[in-house]
Amino acid sequence: MLLDIIKNSRALLCLECGKCTGICPVSRFNRNYSPRILLNKALRGGDSDLLKDKNIWNCLTCKLCDEHCPADIDYISLTQAIRLEANKIGEEALCSHGGAAQSLMRIMATPSLSPKRMDWIDKELKFTENGEVLYFVGCAPFFDVLFGDIGVFPTRSANATIKILNRLDIVPVILKDERCCGHDLLWQGDFENFKRLAQFNIEIIKKSGVKKIIFSCPECYRTFKIDYAKYFDFKIEMLHISEIIVKAIGEKRLKFKELERTITFQDPCRLGRHLGIYDEPRIVLNSIPKLSFKEMRRSKNRAICCGVSAWMNCSNYSKRIQLMRLKEAKETSADLFVLACPKCEIHFNCAMKETSDAQRSEEMKIETTSFVNLIADTLWE
């Protein structure tokens, strides 16, 4: 099994140049972690030795190494496959927040449950149970409960997305029985529960008759577009909300109020390196009058991610990655950090809240907002 995984990932073409380790944000702070060493361990064989190596869970799967590999090795797919094999022999990652998020996802994988998850929608917004365009909300309604104490409320972004769609005369379908997309469970190697969630979502979406799905969460988008297509028979038009807004701007269907702020933008790894969407958010942000956009030193395909993946590796190394990235945001002289992924919002705001060093806190403290919140707030009424 492992040999097939290695062949499919092109790992046999490794040049041992070390660029993967040199560019890895985890390796920068954690000297015990090296993508190159793990890849070599896979090439040398000894499945059980590799599958029991705790370092297989440290990878952020941010795809920076894939981006810089001269041999075009698919290290991220190799990592996912190794984790799936490790899970089969009982190996697991050490999860953050006491495994609360994982427990919630596995509960949602129970088909007989009927979660009450529609109360978050603002009363003035329009949505429907039948139509052609679905807005897949994901886990936002549950994240409010878990992370409201650090000032992160993802349902505000979900409401903002519906507001934008309504402004474009789109009344989206919101499915009351929708479940978690399964992103985190898949990257933790729990394929069985990922499969249950995916099959449940696919079934209710097919029954709904929708022809298009819109996402505001990059992880949901990546999971549907790449992983559902890989593991299941599921084909449907899918778009990120930034793609919808760019099209509307080109058709002069949206008008923005002036906003005298200086911003910088965080490229989520799933939206950027995984899906190749870099320009659309920038086109949208640069369409807001008087808004000053400043790029960070490392942006687009070179961007550093938020330091945690699938609630697994929230460690001291993660905090150092987050502080490094927040400092880069501050160095742009921006006064607002725009984030297009709910996980980025959670992790960066958590890092700022937990920093006790006053001087360091001042160096990296910056106001944050979600991409869709900023757009929704600047639309002409």
Q: In what order do the strands lie in the sheet with 133-136?
A: 133-136, 212-215, 237-240
Whether 200 contacts 105, CB under 8 Å? no
User: 214 pairs with which residues across the strands?
Assistant: 135, 239
**Cα separation of 201 and 107, whole Å?**
14
Distances (CA, A) of 174 to 44, 134, 135: 49, 6, 6
Whether residue 145 is found in the same domain as residue 225: yes
> Which domain covers residue 177, as residue numbers?
97-246
Coil, strand, or helix at residue 90? coil
Residue 91 is encoded by which pair of tokens? Answer: 């190996």
Q: Give 96's DSSP letter.
A: S
Maximal CA-CA distance, the chain: 63
Coil, strand, or helix at residue 380? coil
* pLDDT tens profile 305-350: 999 999 987 888 999 999 999 999 999 999 999 999 999 999 999 9
What's the pLDDT at 59? 95
In total, how many domains does the chain have?
3
65, 88, 111 - which closes a domain: 88
Coil, strand, or helix at residue 365? coil
Whether residue 119 is found in the same domain as residue 242: yes
**Cα separation of 68 and 194, whole Å?**
30
Whether residue 321 is found in the same domain as residue 218: no
246, 277, 305 - which closes a domain: 246
Predicted TM-score (pTM) of this structure? 0.94
**Cα separation of 45 and 38, whole Å?**
11
What's the pLDDT at 43? 85
Question: For the chain, which ranges sit under pLDDT 50?
Answer: none
**Cα separation of 318 and 190, whole Å?**
23
* β pairing state of 292-293 and 262-266: parallel
Whether residue 210 is found in the same domain as residue 261: no
Whether residue 202 is found in the same domain as residue 294: no
Angle, helix 35-44 to helix 2-9, in steps of 10 degrees = 130
Whether residue 366 is found in the same domain as residue 273: yes
What's the pLDDT at 86? 93
What's the pLDDT at 288? 98
The CATH number of the domain where 346 resides is what?
A: 3.40.50
Whether residue 240 is found in the same domain as residue 135: yes
Whether residue 107 is found in the same domain as residue 230: yes
DSSP letter for each residue of 147-208:
HGGGT--HHHHHHHHHHHHHHTT---B--TT-----HHHHHTT-HHHHHHHHHHHHHHHHHH
The CATH number of the domain where 18 resides is what?
A: 1.10.1060.10
Whether residue 229 is found in the same domain as residue 142: yes
Whether residue 114 is found in the same domain as residue 186: yes
Query: Half-sphere exposure (CA, 13 Å, Cβ side) for 282?
Result: 16
Q: Give 82's DSSP letter.
A: H
What's the pLDDT at 360? 59
Q: Centre a 10 Å sphere on the Cβ of residue 380 and count the other Cβ atoms it contains.
A: 8
Residue 378 is encoded by which pair of tokens? Answer: 């600047």
* pLDDT tens profile 346-377: 999 999 987 655 555 677 889 999 999 999 99
Whether residue 71 is found in the same domain as residue 130: no
Coil, strand, or helix at residue 239? strand
What's the pLDDT at 171? 98
Percentage of residues in the chain having pLDDT higher than 70: 97
42, 66, 88 - which closes a domain: 88
**Cα separation of 295 and 278, whole Å?**
12
Whether 297 contacts 267, CB under 8 Å? no
Whether residue 229 is found in the same domain as residue 314: no
